[in-house]
Amino acid sequence: MKTEITAMAETHLGAVMEIERGAFISPWSRNLFCHELSTHISHSFVAIAWEADIQNVAGYMCSWIILEQCNILKFACHPQYRRRGVGRLLLRHGLQDAWRMGARIASLEVRPSNTGAFLFYAACGFVHAGVRKGYYQETREDAVIMEMELAEHSEPRSVSRQEEIV
């Protein structure tokens, strides 16, 4: 399977919305994704999988880059493409983009009950950095904050908790 990462465009939103509704308890609206596409701090990508000359949106990532901080807002892969390297490729691309834009730390929030996502991010080098109590409104579930120090050439290294994060 050939996979390419490209900037998210409005033409991708039908497939993105399908993945979004299957991946999140409180999915974003199409209008919110459109807003992200028009915001200068937002960097959004899709993974396009080519199978038998058919293109499928296999996953997407939306992040904000503000100064030296990359905050990953959304990250999801279609169930058909999970555990096939698509997510890792997509994340690597997004983090490379963040590095080129001047970000040196990447962060995200994940539900503690989302074991698969938590393990994926940990395997990619993110470390536990804190907890936001009652963060998810619909369930009052906490959010685990995970962070990673970005490094040149896209192979980020984990942030040690002994290092100060500014």
| Domain-located, residue 101 | yes
- Output the pLDDT for position 156: 42
Query: What pLDDT is attached to residue 160?
Result: 34
Q: Please count the structural domains in the chain.
A: 1
Is position 160 within any domain?
no
Angle at 107 between CA 42 and CA 37, to 5 degrees: 15
Question: What pLDDT sits at residue 121?
Answer: 96
Q: Quote the domain boundaries for residue 53.
A: 2-154
Residues 28 and 25: their CA atoms lie apart, in Å, by: 10
Using CA atoms, how far apart are residues 155 and 124, in angstroms rounded to an integer?
9
Please list the ranges in the chain whose pLDDT falls under 70: 152-166
* pLDDT of the residue at 161: 33
Per-residue confidence (pLDDT) for residue 159, from 0 to 100: 37
Q: What is the pLDDT of residue 40?
A: 92
**What is the CATH number for 15?**
3.40.630.30
| CB 126, CB 116: distance < 8 Å | no
- For the entire predicted model, the pTM comes to 0.87
Whether 62 is covered by a domain: the verdict is yes
**Environment class of 86 (CB within 10 Å of its CB; exposed 0-12, middle 13-18, buried 19+):** buried
Q: What is the mean pLDDT of the chain?
A: 89
Residue 137, domain member (yes or no) = yes
